[in-house]
Structure 1
Amino acid sequence: MRCIYPAISIDKNKRTKLLPPLQFSHVNSSGGSPPLVHWHEGPGPGVSEAHLTLELIWVAACWAYHIRNKRSVWPRPNHGHPLKHVHDIRDEMDREPGEWRPQTFKYPSVNPWLDFDFNKTLPPPYRPFRWGPKYNVTMGIRSMDFDDWIQASTLVLQDPQITKTHIRSTIGMPTTIGSAHAGQKQVVSTSSGPCRRMRNSVFQGVNSQLVNEIGEYLTRRYPHVFRVVSRVKHTPNDLSWDSLGEIEIIEIIPLNVRYNLQEEDPMKVSGLLENSSVQDDLALMLEGKDSRYYFQAGSICTPGFWRMRDKIGHPLERIHEGGPVQDREKLRDSMNRFFVKLRTDKPVTRNNYFMQIVRPEDDPRRVGSIDGDELAWSDTTNGNEDHFDEPNHAPKPDFISSSGFVEPQPIGKEEIDRVRFRTERQSLRRLPRSGAILFTIRTYIEPVIKLAREPGVPGRMVDAIRSWPPDVAEYKGQHLYADAILSYLDERHREQVERGIVQEGQRDERYPF
């Protein structure tokens, strides 16, 4: 007689599966020792009915043990409720593409920045360019301290109308873009790929988590700038930190403005909190069943040279399309792998930089403008935002011919005051409840002539610009300002060497500063 036991195997992905049936029999060993169990695939000698009963009980007990372990180590996906015990859940990365189980991640205690002053605190001096001659194409990812998630500075309150007149917020479903300054909504088509489609209630839940995370962080990090006016009563599965109850009313003290996080559109409020006081743009990326990440919601107020309407609903690599990009395939694969593996407890940050030209100071279109440096949109280079041709990363041909738009011409050294250095500080963080990855994007823009006064900067900057390969130079529009900026920075570097500020050949670097 033989007994079949469905054996268990654990594959390299930590998932259980059944092996082909095995058969076993008892064989008496020498010396009267207890019987040994031998596993084989052929029929074995007969055993007594009593022995068989004991064997079946033993097999059933083993099978029950394995089933119990399988359920405790590999639970079924949790449908929208946070798991209670960290030791009861499998690793957050052990999942299928497009799947996410809410995590019990607790944001570390935030150290309040008590001496922060909107009138005095300067922004971090990000100078994310490296010495040449080699230009390395990398993502430039660095670990981020949780205290530094969202950074404020004096520049925020100088021209708050810039973002108010250029706000872009998704409202409702992923296909809807609200244009606050246009007073209307625009509906665009999302990609037809395997992007995760969400019910409106689920989508609102993702956005609600976002606005609560932002509100909880800002009121802790900048307590004399952001204040919790009221909270709702705590419930077991709410979105609050430290079980205090979700924020109901939040106030931006310097602006004397309040928002209701429970009643107003969460993505719109997230954008207003950020752009009225901190000035970070927001982009929510969600994983599809193809393991690619799709841009599903955002508040984009200072993009400079890309439009949310062209990117919403599309995969990550589409955001970086428009003009040539060096090693596109390499970057795409690297980004996708990184996004899939990003953990809730490992936020990161990165920087990039560009140059752009602006109108002369006495240009009638600049005089009286609230955005003379073209922080929100680089119309000197790219024309009117509404007539931007995304595939070519330039104004539409019909707009050029019908509007009298004159394509920008390269400028000389005498116009160096028109060149602006534009840099973004980005943070990437996975939200624990939804699994969405949140980009925060803070843009800084400064005159190149100002940066050239800083010790060591002109030499490093000019070396970095000369290291750009042809496709990078084209993507960054180098032909518009090369004649002006290269000779100017060479002169400023030479002056610093002559004055002993730096030494020739000195290559100190504190990237990204």
Structure 2
Amino acid sequence: MTPRHRPWETTTDFAIGLRPIAVADWLEGGEADPAARKDALLAVRPDLVWAEAPGSRPGQVETLEMVEAALGPSPALPGLPPLYAAARRVPDDLCLMEKHDGAWRLTALSLSAGSFFTAEAVIGRSLAELHAPVTGFAERLLGRVQRVFEGLRPGLVLERRNWTLLNSADLHTPTPTPIRARIGAITPADAGRALQLRVERQTLRRLPRTGGALFTIRVWLTPLESLADQPERLAAFATAWRTAPAAFRAYKRLDLYDPLVEGFLESAGAAPR
């Protein structure tokens, strides 16, 4: 099984990397019943997976309309916030960004596959605050990202992808602590099955009526062992892993997996470091 997206083959650094795609390609699908997965999480810990700020409902309604335009109308359960009703129909997490007091802020989100963050922790945050943990983001990328949001025009869909590697096959990973605590139990022989390539496919669209921006995050998981029988793909990943910049490696904590990944690469036939 080849990973659907392989961003490590094109970049191993923090980059905006946005490209325009056709409106018809906005949502990738690929999950039979995302509502069942998301509803189960909402029932147990709603604070982790859902949040909305006062005044965000008009933007939420427009988000639901946009999803229905792409997928067709569907009866919604009564009483649901519009953004959550939209999120139940797609595998993606949905994040509504709106401009308040001169800053783009996260005003509503359905977050069922967050990578080490939760809805309650990020609601209301600005672009700068959301990306503060990313090394060098403020100096290198913040101004460019803000210009993207300002210049986003209706009808344009932008896409980007990023990646990491985790010892978890769960989409919902709100905290790294339990995941990283299990690393020591993985043997080199099990590394290919235990380690997952975690790719985020993200899109950005303007909400033409209310003026906000909708940010979507679709997470794809593929076992590292999927590369074992594809020499060119394996070699590309080995190069990306070994040459990733220090800041990228530190933020993603790739160092935690170095012995396991190197053991896998050696056993799969990749050239030694």
- Which category of TM-score, normalised to the shorter sequence, fits these structures? 0.7 to 0.9
* 1:375 and 2:171 matched: yes
* 1:287 and 2:162 matched: no
Partner of 2:39: 164
Give the direction of change, closer, same or farther, for the CA distance of 1:465–1:378 in structure 2 (3 Å limit): farther
Q: CA deviation at 1:430?
A: 0.3
Q: Which moved more, 1:143-152 or 1:325-334?
A: 325-334
Judge conservation of contact 2:161–2:199 (CA < 8 Å) in 1. yes
Q: Secondary structure at the match of 1:481?
A: helix
Give the direction of change, closer, same or farther, for the CA distance of 1:341–1:124 in structure 2 (3 Å limit): farther
Q: CA deviation at 1:471?
A: 2.1
Distance 2:92 2:108 in 1: 14
Q: CA deviation at 1:461?
A: 0.7
1:79-125 C-alpha deviation (Å, 9 max, x unpaired):
xxxxxxxxxxxxxxxxxxxxxxxxxxxxxxxxxxxxxxxxxxx9971
Distance 2:34 2:82 in 1: 24
Judge conservation of contact 2:48–2:120 (CA < 8 Å) in 1. no
Q: 2:76 aligns with which of 249, 259, 266?
A: 259
Partner of 1:338: 148
Judge conservation of contact 2:238–2:270 (CA < 8 Å) in 1. no
Judge conservation of contact 1:163–1:376 (CA < 8 Å) in 2. no
Give the direction of change, closer, same or farther, for the CA distance of 1:410–1:141 in structure 2 (3 Å limit): farther
Judge conservation of contact 1:411–1:480 (CA < 8 Å) in 2. no
Highest Rg: 1 or 2?
Answer: 1
Q: CA deviation at 1:308?
A: 1.2
Q: CA deviation at 1:423?
A: 0.3
Q: Following superposition of structure 1 onto structure 2, how do residues 37-116 of structure 1 map, counting pairs within 5 Å?
A: none
Q: Secondary structure at the match of 2:8?
A: coil
Partner of 1:268: 84
Q: 1:427 aligns with which of 203, 222, 229?
A: 203
* 1:316 and 2:127 matched: yes
Partner of 1:127: 6
Q: CA deviation at 1:164?
A: 2.6
- 2:41 is aligned with what amino acid? H
Aligned length: 270
1:252-300 C-alpha deviation (Å, 9 max, x unpaired):
xxxxxx4258x643122112222xxxx110000012332x310001111
Q: CA deviation at 1:328?
A: 3.8
Q: CA deviation at 1:484?
A: 1.4
Q: 1:302 aligns with which of 108, 113, 119?
A: 113
Distance 1:147 1:187 in 2: 27
Partner of 1:204: 57
Give the direction of change, closer, same or farther, for the CA distance of 1:266–1:468 in structure 2 (3 Å limit): same
Give the direction of change, closer, same or farther, for the CA distance of 1:471–1:344 in structure 2 (3 Å limit): same
Distance 1:307 1:184 in 2: 8
Give the direction of change, closer, same or farther, for the CA distance of 1:210–1:378 in structure 2 (3 Å limit): closer
Distance 2:20 2:261 in 1: 33
Give the direction of change, closer, same or farther, for the CA distance of 1:208–1:407 in structure 2 (3 Å limit): same
Q: Secondary structure at the match of 1:152?
A: coil
Give the direction of change, closer, same or farther, for the CA distance of 1:131–1:143 in structure 2 (3 Å limit): closer
- 2:143 is aligned with what amino acid? D
Q: Secondary structure at the match of 2:108?
A: strand
- Give the 4+ runs in structure 1 shifted more than 6 A: 183-190
Distance 2:94 2:143 in 1: 23
1:219-255 C-alpha deviation (Å, 9 max, x unpaired):
2xxxxxxxx4xxxxxxxxxxxxxxxxxxxxx1xxxxx
Structure 1 unpaired stretches of 5+ = 1-121, 168-179, 191-197, 220-227, 229-249, 251-257, 359-372, 385-393, 395-405, 496-513
Q: Secondary structure at the match of 2:226?
A: helix
Judge conservation of contact 1:409–1:480 (CA < 8 Å) in 2. no
**Overall identity of the aligned pairs, in %:** 22
Q: Secondary structure at the match of 1:259?
A: coil
- 2:127 is aligned with what amino acid? L
Structure 2 unpaired stretches of 5+ = none
Distance 2:58 2:125 in 1: 21
Judge conservation of contact 1:142–1:350 (CA < 8 Å) in 2. yes
Q: Secondary structure at the match of 1:424?
A: strand
Q: CA deviation at 1:161?
A: 4.3
Q: 1:448 aligns with which of 202, 205, 224?
A: 224
Q: CA deviation at 1:429?
A: 0.3
Partner of 1:354: 164
Give the direction of change, closer, same or farther, for the CA distance of 1:184–1:136 in structure 2 (3 Å limit): closer
Distance 1:466 1:146 in 2: 36
- 2:238 is aligned with what amino acid? V
Q: Secondary structure at the match of 2:44?
A: coil
RMSD value, Cα: 3.2
Instruction: Tell me which protein shows more helix as a share of its residues.
Output: 2
- 1:164 is aligned with what amino acid? D
Q: TM-score, normalised by structure 2?
A: 0.85
Give the direction of change, closer, same or farther, for the CA distance of 1:131–1:313 in structure 2 (3 Å limit): closer
1:27-55 C-alpha deviation (Å, 9 max, x unpaired):
xxxxxxxxxxxxxxxxxxxxxxxxxxxxx
- 1:354 is aligned with what amino acid? T
Distance 2:219 2:50 in 1: 27
Partner of 2:25: 148
Distance 2:3 2:162 in 1: 14
Partner of 2:261: 485
Distance 2:250 2:155 in 1: 38
